[in-house]
Amino acid sequence: MLKDKLKEDMKNALKSGDSARRTLIGMVLTSMRNKEIEKRTVLAKTVSDTTQLDAQSQLNDEEAMAVIATEVKRRKDSIAEFEKGGRPELAASEQAEIDILKTYLPEQMSDDALREVVKKAIASTGATTAKDMGKVMSAVKEETKGSADGQRISSIAKELLK
């Protein structure tokens, strides 16, 4: 499981003295724990057995990758703000964190492959205008499962739905 790999990598970072990696992985694990708490809160309304609740509250790999993808997006947003503010050293630090986080995500699809997936999604959903963007986005995200950034999907879909 991805969460187990993160825990193992955090131990290795501790042993090797890589405090930046350890801190980053610790933050990601905290985000995952928060997501598990959210999930547990929702499930607690329908599941009464605590053993079952504990098991169902755990994130699967797909949900864990979504948390990591969110962390990458946050850092990309921070980079844009740091560059606007004239702080290239902070932007470089955020980029280094993104590089570490990307090692836990699936390899990103090429633009050509993503364009084909978007074309298929447009055809299958019957989308014709930008108003149908939501249908296309959800269909593409379902098929790509983390191997394509939402911003890339959106820009290609907008281009094709003109």
pLDDT tens-place string over residues 60-77: 998 999 999 999 999 999
Q: Are residues 19 and 77 in the same domain?
A: yes
Q: Are residues 136 and 64 in the same domain?
A: no
pLDDT given at position 6: 96
pLDDT given at position 20: 92
pLDDT beneath 50, residues of the chain: none
pLDDT tens-place string over residues 92-111: 999 999 999 999 998 888 88
Angle, helix 133-144 to helix 150-160, in steps of 10 degrees? 130
What is the C-alpha to C-alpha distance for residues 142 and 158, in angstroms, rounded to an integer? 18
Q: Are residues 41 and 116 in the same domain?
A: no
CATH at 27: 1.10.1510.10
Instruction: Tell me the pTM.
Output: 0.80
pLDDT given at position 142: 85
Q: Are residues 150 and 122 in the same domain?
A: yes
Range of the domain at 14: 2-102
Q: How far is CA 63 from CA 2, 35, 53, in A?
A: 10, 9, 17
Q: Are residues 11 and 69 in the same domain?
A: yes
Q: Are residues 138 and 80 in the same domain?
A: no
